[in-house]
Chains A and B, each alone.
Chain A
């Protein structure tokens, strides 16, 4: 089973700052990685697929990069609605499909 590790667990930043979230896989997953955003009481929303492709309707301030075992989600300038939880998820050599434990971005 491929294990995904996200860091940091919590990221404290101010609006307008740049956020860098990390996701590391226990073995190479090529670019078979997606990022989701989840607001309280809502289902996850797809942000990035294939490690670096923005999903439909996702603002340009969100970008993804990486391949193999190390991946990054970058939010170039945090908006108030961005202070929520982010999950990475792989789709390589599945099943199982696994998610990272999440990174919470909160207001400093």
Chain B
């Protein structure tokens, strides 16, 4: 059974840092691209970042570029998101989501974790 379990959220002051983790199990982690998606309280979904299966390709939303860093560890089947220079508008539930490419060019998020809440407030 595919499982994605996020951790590392919490309350942090503006300008602070946090590191989120996503522990993957039930599938061959190193063969799947992964993403972070966030959802502010009561709001819609916002894609944050992508990392390819090998870690070669990395992309960010403009809203987090230069402040957040995505990474992955094949040995521990873990995905990470380092959040720096946090702002109030970064307050959200952060989900990790797996990519599935059924045919070249047809890619979608097929599994999601339960999410971890990040609150940026003084």
Contact = CB atoms under 8 A, between A and B. Distances in A.
Give the residue among B105, B108, B112 with the most A Cβ atoms within 10 A. B108
Contacts of B115: 43
Nearest to A92: B105
> Which of the four size classes fits the interface of chain B?
20 to 34
A62 interface: no
Given A87-B44, A91-B108, A43 B95 contact: yes
Interface string A33-45: 0101010001111
A44 B44 contact: no
B108 A96 contact: no
A23 B61 CA distance: 22
Contact of A99 (B44, B62, B107, B112): B44
Nearest to B46: A99
A76 B113 CA distance: 29
Contact of A50 (B46, B61, B106): B106
Contacts of B109: 34, 36, 44, 46, 89
SS class, residues of chain A in contact with chain B: loop
Contacts of A91: 106-108
Given A87-B45, A95-B60, 8 more contacts: A38-B45, A46-B109, A49-B106, A50-B102, A87-B44, A95-B59, A99-B45, A100-B44
Interface of A: 31-32, 34, 36, 38, 42-46, 49-50, 53, 55, 87, 89, 91, 94-102
Interface of B: 35, 44-47, 50, 59-62, 95, 102, 105-110, 112-115
28 contacts: A31-B106, A34-B108, A42-B114, A43-B95, A43-B113, A43-B115, A44-B95, A44-B109, A45-B112, A49-B102, A49-B106, A49-B108, A53-B102, A55-B110, A87-B45, A89-B45, A89-B109, A91-B108, A95-B60, A95-B61, A96-B47, A98-B47, A99-B44, A99-B45, A99-B46, A100-B44, A102-B44, A102-B45
